[in-house]
Amino acid sequence: MTIAELKKMSQKELDDLFRAKPAGPIPDGEAKGTALVLPGTPVTNLIADLVRLKVWKGKVFERDKNDPNKGILHNKILPLGHLAIEANVYKDKSWLDGAECVVLDYSETSLIAKKVRDEIREIEPGFYLGKVYWGKKRTIDFALEFQRSGK
C-alpha cells in the first residue's frame, strides 16, 4: 500500500479499508503526513501537496513509557515543521464503526483544535490511515508514514 494508491481511492474505499483494519499499536516516533482531501478526484494530489508545503507536515508521537496504550503527540506545522498542537493518544471505539482505533484527542490539550478528534488504524506496519472529526462531523482523511524498513 502506498500514498499514491490511497489518493486514488474513493471515500467509500478509504472508509472500507479503515473498517477492515485493526487499531494497531500506539505509534512512537515521527511520521510524515499526507492529507487525503477529495480522495479519488483530480485535485487530491494538488491539495495534498499544498497542505504539506504550507500547513501540516505530519505528527511526532511519544508513547507512554509506563502504559503502551497511551501517549501524546505534536503536529508538525507550517513550512518549517514547528512542533505544535498537542493531543492525547489512547485506544477507544471509533466513531466510524464502533471498533477499536487509536484516538488522537485534542479536547484537553489545545485551544485551537479543541473540537478535533482524529482516529487512526494501522493499514500496514508503520503506515496508518486516519479520519478527522470536527465535533462529531467527519471532515477529511489523512495518512501517516513512519520509517519502514525497505521503503
Digit-coded pLDDT (tens) for 106-149:
999 999 999 999 999 999 999 999 999 999 999 999 999 998 65
Structurally, how many domains does the chain consist of?
A: 1
Domain hosting 141: range is 3-146
pLDDT at site 42: 94
Is 113 part of any domain?
Answer: yes
Mean pLDDT of 26-35: 97
Q: Alpha carbon of 57 to those of 30, 51, 97, 145, 150: distances in Å?
A: 10, 8, 27, 11, 22
What pLDDT is recorded for position 148? 65
Q: Is 18 within the bounds of a domain?
A: yes
Q: Domain holding 43: CATH number?
A: 2.40.128
Asked if residue 151 belongs to a domain, the reply is no
pLDDT, tens only, 79-117: 999 999 999 999 999 999 999 999 999 999 999 999 999
Q: Is the pLDDT at 5 greater than 70, yes or no?
A: yes
32 contacts 3 by C-beta, under 8 angstroms: no
What SS3 state is found at 4?
helix
Indicate the DSSP class of residue 8: H
